[in-house]
Amino acid sequence: MGRRRTTKKHNKYAVPDGQRNHHQPDPMVRLVSVHPGRAGVVALAVGPVIKILDLAHASSPCAVHALEAQHPTAAVRVVQFSPDGKLLLTASDEKVVRLWDTDSWKCIASW
């Protein structure tokens, strides 16, 4: 067995001038889920922020509710309403799944 080198002579992730770096972190995730029972109600996730929009009753799109996550730095990866529209499921990079009640917009369970 040989001795492992602790320093490298070159950086394998170095980007030559004029080329794009393919080893950058993922961009912020943008997700949309449409409520199955309420016309115009949409759950929108951009990065760590989850907003509920009511597009049917507003003259301009504005957030009706902003769901509060425990760790606001992790990007949301899943936003999905239940088939009956009573629950909203979210999952993020912090490896936590949350279940929200759509009447009160409160978190009722998390795993």
Task: Look at residue 89 and tell me if it is in a domain.
Answer: yes
pTM, two decimal places: 0.69
In a domain? residue 73: yes
Quick check: 87 and 100 in contact, CB under 8 A?
yes
Q: What is the pLDDT of residues 33-56, one digit of tens each?
A: 999 998 889 998 888 888 888 888
Q: Say whether pLDDT at 65 is over 80.
A: yes
Does 86 map to a domain?
yes
Question: Domain range spanning residue 60?
Answer: 30-110
Q: How many domains does the chain have?
A: 1
Q: Is 60 exceeded by the pLDDT of residue 1?
A: no
Q: What is the pLDDT of residues 17-26, one digit of tens each?
A: 656 555 555 5
Q: Is 13 domain-assigned? A: no
Torsion (CA) 37, 109, 69, 67 in degrees, nearest 10: 20
